[in-house]
Amino acid sequence: MEILLEQETEEDWWEVEQLLDTCFAPGREALSSYRLREGVDPVARLCLTARENGILAGAIRVWPVRVSGRTVALIGPVAVHPTRQGEGLGAMMIREVIDRAEVIGWQRMMLVGDAPYYSRFGFRKLEGVVMPPPTNPERVLGLGDWDGITGKVIRAAGAGVSPLRQERIS
């Protein structure tokens, strides 16, 4: 069977939200990363679903944030259904997002996660980049051109459009 990665649609929204509720603890929306997403459109071209035979197996979303006056793609949440974990779906979605982000012009990406896992995709600990508390600074990771970029990660209101246009990837 084959996993199909496609851009998330409006019709997928509730199903993806249910997957996120299944994969993460109740109260997930109280996390600081959700405060950065409030009132901000996601980067639609980088929000993907992973389906096999039409059944949702995983999802990944990406949101714009700002650091030191620059727009950055914040990857997350990344969710794989508990019955599908350990099959490489998370890695498949991360790689696809990185590839698509580079194609549409994102120069830097970041996420909050475990360095040993995400380092295989090129992510490294960001020195001097501060997520809202209570985020562990050791888990703030970046990929791309971060030279000279430090400071607080803030909401990017109105910055949901990627550096290039937001139409669907076909």
Predicted TM-score (pTM) of this structure: 0.87
- Residue whose entry in the numeric block shows the structure tokens 């703030």: 140
What is the spatial distance between Cα 145 and Cα 105, in angstroms, rounded to a whole number?
A: 12
8 A C-beta contact, residue 7 and residue 169: yes
- Residue whose entry in the numeric block shows the structure tokens 């990665």: 5
DSSP state, residue 120: G
What is the spatial distance between Cα 101 and Cα 42, in angstroms, rounded to a whole number?
A: 13
8 A C-beta contact, residue 8 and residue 61: yes
Per-residue pLDDT of the chain (170 residues; tens, 9 = 90+): 699 999 999 999 999 989 988 888 766 665 667 678 888 889 999 999 999 999 999 999 999 999 998 999 999 899 999 999 999 999 999 999 999 999 999 999 999 999 999 999 999 999 999 998 888 999 999 999 999 999 999 988 654 444 443 333 33
What is the spatial distance between Cα 133 and Cα 121, in angstroms, rounded to a whole number?
A: 25
